[in-house]
Structure 1
C-alpha cells in the first residue's frame, strides 16, 4: 500500500549496503584479534611444556616450584574456561539457527554463526549481534509487505534472540564463570569494563583469562597477605 511504501522509504533501506559494509569491516578487525587470542591460548594449552620451559628460564632459583604450580593451575582453569565458551557459543548458535530457519530467513546458518561468535565480546557483543540480526532479518524480506511479513517476522526473530540471551545470561555464563574462573559476576563485570576502557574490544576478550592468571599467581606468591587470601579464596 501507499502508506507502507512511505514508511519503508522513511526507514531508508538504501543505507543498508554501506551499513553492512561497516559491520563487516568491524567484524574483520574483531576476527583478527579473536584469532590472535585463540591462537596464543591454543599454543599455551597444547604446547604448555614448551611454554613452561621458556618461562622457567627467567624464574629465579627458589621460585621454580611455585611457578610450576601456577602454570598448572592456570592451564587447568583456562582449559575449562575455553571449553565452556565453546559450549556457550554452540548453544547460542543452535537457538539462533532454529529461530531463523523457522521464519525462513536467508543465510540463516551464517547469520546465526556470526551473531553467536559476537557474543564472545562481553556486554557489547550481544548488543551488536542483536542489531545485526535485526538488520539482516529485515533486509532478507525486502519487497514483501512491511505490516504482513517484515514486521511480524522481525518481531518473532527478536523474541527468539531475547530468549537465547536469557538462556546465556542465566545458564551458560553463570555455569562457565563458577566452574572455571571461579570469580564473582561483579568481579568479572568490573574487570571487563576496565579492560574495555584501556584496551578496547580485544581487552574485553582477554580480560577474564588474564584476570584468572593474575589471581593464580597472586595466590601462589603472595598468599601470606590477608587481602590476597580474601581475593583468591575461591581458587
Structure 2
C-alpha cells in the first residue's frame, strides 16, 4: 500500500511538472476537454438524428457543432460592433485642443493644493509641463516596429492555439471517451474499479460545475440586461453580455463589468452636466448591486459550494492560489483543477479504508 501511494505522489508530481513545463500544451488540452464537454451533448444528439434511415455521421455532427459555435461568436461580435463603431465615431469627432485645455484645469488645481500645503516648491504650471513631457517621451520611446511585431506574434500564437484546440476537440468528440479509455488503460487491474469510480465522480462534479457556470452566465445576463434597459442605459445587451462573461473571473469580474457599464454609459450618452452623469452612474451601480446580491446569495453557493462540494473558504484560498500561479486564467480554472485532485485523493483514501484490495496489498 505504501508503494502504491509513493507511485501516486510521483505521478502527480510528474504530471504537475509536465503541465508547468509544457504550459501551452496543457492549456490547449484543458480548453479542448472543456469545449468537448460542452459540445458533446449537441454532437451526440445530432449523431442520433436519422436522415433517410441513416445516422448522421459523427464527423458531420461535430462540424455542425463547430458551425453553431462560430455562429454564436459571430452573433456576439455583431452585438459589440455598433458599440465599437460608436466609440470610433466619438473619438474621430473629439476636439483635442479643447481636451488639452480642459486637462489643465484639474492638474492646475492639484498643483495649487500641493503648493499651498508646501508639498512641492516648483513654479506654477511646471507640473502640467512635466506630465506633458513624460507622456511625449513615453510615446516617442515606443518602437513601432517592435509593437507591430508583437501584435503579429500574438495574433499568430492565438491562431495556432485556436487550430490546436479545434483539432484536439475534434478527435475527443470523434472518438467519444477516447481520453478516458486511454487513461484507464494505464491503471493496473487491482486499482481499476477504484479508478473508474473516481473518474465517474470527477466527471459528474465537473459537469455540474460547468452547468452551474452556464446558468450563472444566463441569469446574470438576464438581470443585467433587463435592469440596464429599464434604467435607460444605451447598449444594455452589450454591457450585460460583457458583465456576465467577466463575472467568470472571481472577485475581479464584477468590478470589470460595472466599470465597463459606467464607461460605456457615459461615453455613449448626451448629458448636460455632472448631475445627470452622477444619476446615470447611480442607476448603473444599482443594477449591478442587484446582480451581485443575487449572485452572492443565490448563484455562488449553489454553483460552487454544492457543485464541487467544497467549503467556501477552500474555494477562496484555491482561487487566489490559481491567480498567483497563472493570473486570470488561473483564477478561472482553479476550481475545476482543484476538484479533480480533491476528489481523486478523497476517493483513493476512502478506497484505502473500504476496498479489500488495499488490505490484501498492505
TM-score category of the 2 structures, normalised to the smaller one: 0.7 to 0.9
2:296 equivalent among 143, 148, 169: 169
Determine the structure 1 residue equivalent to 2:184.
Answer: 56
**Separation in structure 1 between the aligned mates of residue 175 and residue 276 of structure 2, nearest angstrom:** 53
The answer to whether residue 184 in structure 2 is matched with residue 184 in structure 1 is no
The 1:161–1:144 alpha-carbon spacing in structure 2 relative to 1, beyond 3 Å, is same
- Give the unaligned 5+ runs of structure 1: 1-31, 227-235
Runs (4+) off by over 6 Å: 43-48
Name 2:197's counterpart in structure 1: 69
CA contact (8 A) 2:209 2:308 kept: yes
Task: Return the match for 1:88 from 216, 227, 230.
Answer: 216
Task: Say whether 1:219 aligns with 2:358.
Answer: no
Q: 1: CA distance between counterparts of 2:197 and 2:37?
A: 18
Offset at residue 41 of structure 1 (A): 4.4
Against the structure 1 CA distance between its residues 105 and 38, is the aligned structure 2 distance closer, same or farther, given a 3 Å change threshold? farther
2:239–2:257 contact (8 Å) kept in structure 1:
no
Offset, 1:42: 3.2
Q: 1:213 to 1:159 in 2, by over 3 A?
A: same
Gaps of 5+ in 2: 1-27, 42-173, 354-362
Size of the alignment, in residue pairs? Answer: 194
Shift of 1:103: 2.5
Q: What secondary structure does 2:255 align onto? A: helix
- Alignment check: 8 A CA contact 1:37 1:206 kept: no
Partner residue, 1:42: 38
Shift of 1:135: 1.0
User: Alpha carbons of 1:109 and 1:43: their partners in 2 closer, same or farther (altered >3 Å)?
Assistant: closer
Secondary structure (helix, strand or coil) at the match of 1:62 reads helix
Q: Matched residues in 2 for 1:115 and 1:100: separation?
A: 12
Evaluate the alpha carbon distance shift between residue 70 and residue 35 of structure 1 in structure 2; reply closer, same or farther with a 3 A threshold.
Answer: closer
CA RMSD of aligned residues (A): 2.7
TM-score (norm 2): 0.49
Larger-gyration structure (1/2): 2
| Structure 2 counterparts to residues 1-235 of structure 1, below 5 A | 38-39=34-35, 41-42=37-38, 49-141=177-269, 143-223=270-350
Tell me the SS of whatever aligns to 2:187.
coil
Contact 1:52 1:68 in 2 (8 A): no
Cα contact 1:44–1:51 (8 A) shared by 2: no
Q: Deviation per CA, 1:130-153: give whole Å up to 9, x if none.
A: 211111111121x32133432212
Q: How many Å separate the matches in 1 of 2:235 and 2:33?
A: 28
Distance 2:31 2:272 in 1: 41
**Which piece of structure 1 moves more, 188-197 or 83-92?**
83-92
Paired with 2:40 and 2:280, the residues of 1 have a C-alpha distance of 44
> What per-residue deviation string (whole Å, max 9, x for no partner) do you get for residues 100-121 of structure 1?
1112222211110011110001
Contact 2:194 2:347 in 1 (8 A): yes
Using a 3 Å threshold, how does the CA distance of structure 1 residues 59 and 224 change in structure 2: closer, same or farther?
closer
Query: Matched residue of 2:188: which SS?
Result: coil
TM-score (norm 1): 0.74
